[in-house]
Structures are given as C-alpha cells and as structure tokens.
Structure 1
Amino acid sequence: MVLISVISINILSVDINTVRKAYKEAAQDRTKVETFNNLLLKVTKKDEATLVAYKGAAIALLARQEKKVKDKKKLFIKGVSYVEHAIGKSSNNIEVHFVRLGIQENTPKLLKYKGHIEEDKQFILKHFKDITSSNLRHYIKDYILQSKAFSDEEKTVISNQ
C-alpha cells in the first residue's frame, strides 16, 4: 500500500505545465530530450492519458538520437504505441490529439506515421474553443501558428479565439 502511494505521489507530482514546457524544449533542442524523458520515466500506460501521450512523445524523440536505423525504428514504434494507447484511452482529449499531431507532422515519411494528421487537426480546430486551461490554450495556439499542417485561414481563426 505504501509503495503504491509513493508511486502515485510521484506521478501526481509531475506538473503538466512542466511537461508541456519540457516537450516543447525537447522538440526544438536535442540536448533537452533526455531531461524530458527523465521527467516521464515512471509513467506507464495505466496512468492518465495525457501523461501517457507525452511519454510516447519522449520515447519518439529519443529515437531520433539512435545511431542505427533499426534501433531508431524500434524505439519510435514503442513511443507511438504509448501515443496510440493514450488516444484509445481518451479519444476526446484535445491534448492527446495535439501530441499525436506534433509527432506525425515532424516524423519522416519513411516511418509512415502521418495517417491521422487531418483527423487530429480537425479535432483540435473543433474543440479549441472548449479549452479551459489558459496555459494549454496558449500552448496549442503557439504550435498551430507555426505549424505547416494548418492553413493561414485556420491560423487566423485560432488567433482570434
């Protein structure tokens, strides 16, 4: 019972705003990937879907640093399995769709992980107005405004919300 409490407290102590910031930094700076991954080391597929999605993103980012193509692919697939598990667990969670979109948009075509870009984009556009967290709203808005997946018209709509 004590062990479960300690593990739960550790997971609960991971601040989602810290995770978001670490993800953004890791996506832009390879030297910050390890820090992002370490933040989510104890997250399992049994945890809250948003954290599971970010754990998948951390693993996918680690894959970029592997030397051998076989190792890159294996690690990337592991990361994607976390993201897809999070989508299955919480398909109405905008942040999970956002994480998957970010991975898909920045993944090389040869990995063939681009099949849900339009679905995730439309989900985010449809539900953006429903985001209650100002931190999450700002975070997703910043991504949309620099993303190639969104048209100028879609960016304008989001800018005005």
Structure 2
Amino acid sequence: MKLFLSLITAFIFFFQSDLEALRNSYAKANSSNANTEAFINLAEKQSGSDAVTTGYKAAAKIMEAKITKKDRKALVKSGATSLESIIKSNPNNIELRVIRLSVQENIPKIVGYRGSIKDDKAFLINNYSKQNTALKSYVKKFVMQSKSFTDTERASIK
C-alpha cells in the first residue's frame, strides 16, 4: 500500500513539475526570441495530453509564427483552432483562459484573433478566488503585468 501511494505521489510530483516548467517558460516566452524558442521546445517535448498541457502546446504553435519566416498564417490558424477547441471542451479551466487571453493581447491586431479578451478578463476576475494557491499565484502574476486589466481590476485580484 505504501509503495502504491509513493508511486502515485511521485507521478503527481513529476507531472506537476512539468506543468510548473511550462508555466515558468510561458511567462518568459514573450520577452525574447530565445525565450520563445525555449518555450516552444519545452512544449513540444511534453508527453501529457491533459487540457492544460495541450493548451500550452497550442500557444507554442501560435508563438512559433513569431519567430519563423514560413507558414506563419497556418501556424496561427492551427494553434488558435486547437486552443479554441480545448477551451470549448473545458470552459471552466482558468489556466486555459489565461493562455488564450495572453495570446490574444500579444498577437498583432491585424491577425484578428482578439475576440475573447473581455470574456476571459471577466472569467479570471470572477473565478480567481475559487482556485488553489498555485493557480492563484500564476493568475495574479499574469494579471499584474497584463495590459488588458485596469488598476481597479488588478486590485480585485488579491
């Protein structure tokens, strides 16, 4: 029984550390092309098929268009379609909403992928208090640096 619990705990810890690495890399990805590449490589290496990991992989596809010269439109379209599909299947997942909001506020306006900013902002504000400590910290860091939130909205995220 102890062995079984140890294996489950180790599996959860291993999975969690992969997710933490993805989160940390994603948070830094927009600051430079090298960080973007590092995030894309990390996302591609992930073997998980859960919604959040798949969401980060979709974001990596979209971000790849930033650093590549060919098939940019196809990369954005494919990544955005994938991200929208994942969110449609998991509409109450706050981390997926953070991913989509960050992509939409950083993608050039000409691309036209900006339709969910208001909805995602409202979702984050309304559901922040229901999250675990790790997710609260992640969401708060995002909100504090986001250009989509007003000072009043930031103050509501404690």
TM-score normalised per structure 1: 0.82
User: What residue number does 1:66 align with?
Assistant: 68
Q: What does 1:31-110 correspond to in 2, within 5 Å?
A: 31-41=34-44, 47-68=49-70, 71-110=71-110
| SS of equivalent to 1:15 | helix
Instruction: Find out whether 1:18 has 2:21 as its counterpart.
Output: yes
- Deviation, 1:129, is 0.5
Unmatched segments (≥5 aa) in structure 1: 1-8
| SS of equivalent to 1:41 | helix
- Deviation, 1:66, is 1.8
Q: What does 1:131-146 correspond to in 2, within 5 Å?
A: 131-132=131-132, 134-146=133-145
- Deviation, 1:67, is 2.0
Q: What does 1:146-161 correspond to in 2, within 5 Å?
A: 146-158=145-157, 161=158
- For 1:52 and 1:76, how far apart are their aligned partners in 2? 15
Contact preservation (8 Å) 1:63, 1:72? yes
Instruction: Find out whether 1:28 has 2:31 as its counterpart.
Output: yes
- Deviation, 1:38, is 2.1
- For 2:136 and 2:86, how far apart are their aligned partners in 1? 20
Deviations 1:58-84 (A, max 9, x none): 11111101224xx21111111112211
| SS of equivalent to 1:47 | coil
Q: Which moved more, 1:135-144 or 1:89-98?
A: 135-144
- For 2:138 and 2:62, how far apart are their aligned partners in 1? 20
Structural RMSD (CA): 2.1
Residues matched between the structures, number:
146
Q: Which amino acid aligns with 1:92?
A: N
